[in-house]
Amino acid sequence: MSFWTNERIEDAVLICEDLCKSYPGLNKPVLDRFCCQIPKGKIIGLLGPNGCGKSTLIKLITGLLVADRGEIYIDGKRRSEKTNALISYLPERTYFNNWMRVEELLTFFAEFYEDFDMALARKMLGELQIDTNAKLKALSKGTKEKVQLVLVMARKAKLYLLDEPIAGVDPAARDYILQTIIGNYNPEATVIITTHLIYDIEPILDEFLFMGFGGKVMLSGVADEVRNEKGKSLDELFRECFRYTPSADSFGR
């Protein structure tokens, strides 16, 4: 299993060592000595309840946040501004300027990222029937998310970090997004997807990691193997792993 081996795996695209992160105003650290090793060429689900530190981890990897302690290596190199070029990141929220047109965003991405595949982006926008002349502020929340995902997936990156890629879009677009991830599957690249919509995402995963509070690894492994061994879907295992038990008192009397 790739997440918890003590020995370094050879083809790791991402290594996290003893990552710690606390926020002021929170008693407990969001990440407490989090370690993982993620190999190349895999689609990986980073799955956990709200507030367990998934997005914090992603932001540490992208350099948007700085860890209190610990090291991150990307494709064998210590995390830096340079390694950012290897990462294609889909944030939880869209960050585009509302006054821009989709067309302008395309140009922006093409200028900013050497690995941006304009033809692929146009093809995907066409398949999703998105008007590239539209201004972003005229687009619905879901459509903006689709545009953003297209831009992120149209890069030829080593590591894709998709933070909640399917949460805000309709089921048909969800299917399209999952197929896009599969269709762009490249043996050299790894895709890390955070989500709590496990049922939707689980067929496309190679491996998964259940993250509990403090970034604790509750369960991880190869999706097919764990499903076979336990005779349950990841969705069911997740519900068991993170069950909240309401007490009768909480409903008043």
Partner 1 sequence: MPWKFNSHEAVFLQIASRLRGEILRGKYQPDQQIPPVRQLAFEAAVNPNTMQKALTVLEEEGLLYSRGTVGRFVTTDRSVLALCGERVRREAVHRLVEEAFELGITKEELLRYIQEEGGVEDEKAAGDPAADGGNA
Q: Which stretch binds partner 1 (CB under 8 A): 62-70, 101-109, 150-158, 200-208?
A: 200-208
Angle, alpha carbons 211-34-219 (nearest 5°): 35
Binding partner 1 (rule: CB under 8 A), the pick from 47, 60, 139, 178 is 178
Binding partner 1 (rule: CB under 8 A), the pick from 22, 94, 132, 233 is 233
Q: Return the closest-CA partner of residue 102 out of 149, 134, 142.
A: 134
228 counts as binding partner 1 under rule CB under 8 A: yes
Q: Which is nearer to partner 1, 115 or 225 (CB)?
A: 225
Q: Which stretch binds partner 1 (CB under 8 A): 18-26, 47-55, 126-134, 220-228?
A: 220-228
Kindly state the helix (H) or strand (E) to which residue 118 belongs, with its residue range.
helix 118-127
Kindly state the helix (H) or strand (E) to which residue 160 belongs, with its residue range.
strand 159-163
43 counts as binding partner 1 under rule CB under 8 A: yes
Binding partner 1 (rule: CB under 8 A), the pick from 17, 32, 117, 206 is 206
Binding partner 1 (rule: CB under 8 A), the pick from 10, 50, 112, 231 is 231
Kindly state the helix (H) or strand (E) to which residue 59 belongs, with its residue range.
helix 54-62
User: How many CA atoms lie within 13 Å of 248's alpha carbon, on the beta-carbon side?
Assistant: 1
Mask for 49-78, x = binds partner 1 (CB under 8 A): ------------------------------
Q: Which stretch binds partner 1 (CB under 8 A): 25-33, 137-145, 231-239, 240-248?
A: 231-239
Q: Is the Cβ–Cβ distance between 181 and 153 less than 8 Å? A: yes
Binding partner 1 (rule: CB under 8 A), the pick from 75, 236, 241, 242 is 236
Q: Return the closest-CA partner of residue 6 out of 44, 46, 36, 40.
A: 36
Which two three-digit tokens encode residue 52? Answer: 């367990």
Binding partner 1 (rule: CB under 8 A), the pick from 71, 127, 175, 240 is 175
Q: Return the closest-CA partner of residue 72 out of 82, 86, 62.
A: 62
Q: Which is nearer to partner 1, 51 or 183 (CB)?
A: 183
Conformation bin of residue 190: beta by default, left when phi > 0, alpha when psi is -120 to 50: beta
Smallest gap, in angstroms, from Cβ of residue 135 to partner 1?
32
- By DSSP bridging, strand 12-21 and strand 31-39 are antiparallel
9 counts as binding partner 1 under rule CB under 8 A: no
Residues at the interface with partner 1 (CB under 8 A)? 43, 175, 178-179, 182-183, 185, 199, 202-206, 223-224, 227-228, 231-233, 235-236
